[in-house]
Amino acid sequence: MARPLPSALPFEWIVALRFLREGRLQTLFIIIGVAIGVAVIVFMSALLSGLQGNFIRRVLTAQAHIQLLPHQEVTRALRPASPTEQPGAIIQPPLQRLKSIDQWQAVATQVRATPDVLVVSPLTSGSALVLRGSASRAISVNGIDPDLYYRIVDLNDKLVRGRADLGGTDILIGTDLATDLGVDIGDKLRLTTANSANADASTLTIIGIFDLGNKGANQRSTFVARHTAQSLLGLPGGVTSLDVTVRDVYAAEKIAQSIEANTGVQADSWIKSSAQFFSAVSAQTTANTAIRFFVGLSVAFGIASVLVVVVVQKSREIGILRAMGISQAQILRVFLLQGGLLGLGGSLVGSAVGALALWLWQIYARNADGTPLFPLEFDPKLFGAALLLATLTGLIAAFAPALRAARLDPVVAIRA
């Protein structure tokens, strides 16, 4: 015998719960269906969010969000050619010289005052040749202010051995460059550039070896103190770029355009310079949204189909209730409550299943060295959004069956 429902409940709740209890099998199946849908939404959303966050971290922990550069040199004709003139000399684009940003200190101060900008770090960068005995390699020399630059790219976390506190005669090199040259901590390297003769080459001491996670970068990239790079590259007091990080990485292009308009320097965001990567990230976001939509749509149709069957099955009871004086609004609320309860119950079970699936993923999905593939965050907002979405979906899906039940003619329903 079914246990009676508490009499303190409102009438609509009593009827809704009684209908759900009487159709236990239907209720169970729809809750399982909603739970599967919510579990898929929770698991896939957390998985794709973690994957996307991992991609963003891997890319943006090795570069700035925005890079400010001096404008490229261009060649312009002194006057336009007239229609009667024969074509003159061919105007060729000029060779791009290594040059400093004009009045970079003032530009850096102005950019630091821009809303949502976190760090502005000056960088003096150029090409050089590193010499070690009879071996030589072409490298990129990056002159940095460690206190600022390490807030953008934390080389301390990327060190394999050694230290990262750069002095005037120190240099940091990548693991692959160290292997190619056969050097280690404490060894000396001679660096020369097009602006200096071999006799004036700088001799620097290796104090740290890093791994940026990219073989090409580990072979080419080196880091020295900014004044050392300025002297080596023939740019006394100058910087070739300003590296900028912002609060919201997805707003980097908008902020870059604002900076370029206000300062007049060229501003390239990671969204512009890594357009293909950003397209891949955007495609992941679109795929995640599509998964949520279609799973939610299937849940809605499942709830609606069950409630349509309930209306048909309970048409006689509905007719009796209407004959007893129950209003159409109360009947409407009865079926809306059923839809909401089915959505809420399924979402609670589905959230638990989704959390379990994420926990199992973190345990069993591992790299070859035993580390997690990428970190997953159990965001309470995700579970709260799933509960709210499923409950609202249940209410919306129940509206059409509820409206049909409320409009039943009591006489016709009782005779049915």
Distances (CA, A) of 390 to 6, 270, 362, 387: 26, 37, 26, 5
**Regarding predicted confidence, which is higher, 189 or 291?**
189
Q: State pLDDT tens for residues 61-106.
A: 778 889 898 866 555 555 555 555 555 555 555 555 567 888 899 9
Question: How do residues 190-208 score in pLDDT, each as one tens digit?
Answer: 888 866 544 456 889 999 9
**For the ranges 178-182, 282-286, 399-403, the one whose mean pLDDT is highest:** 178-182
Q: How many CA atoms lie within 13 A of 97 on its CB side?
A: 9
Tokens encoding 209: 């070896």
Per-residue pLDDT band for 120 (boundaries 50, 70, 90) equals very high
For residue 351, give Cα distances in angstroms to 34, 35, 104, 296, 389: 10, 7, 52, 14, 12
pLDDT greater than 90 at residue 347: no
Classify 260 as helix, strand or coil: helix
Res. 134: pLDDT tops 50:
yes
Q: Which of 63-77, 135-149, 212-226, 240-254 has the lowest mean pLDDT?
A: 63-77
Contacts of 77 (CB under 8 A, 6+ apart): 91
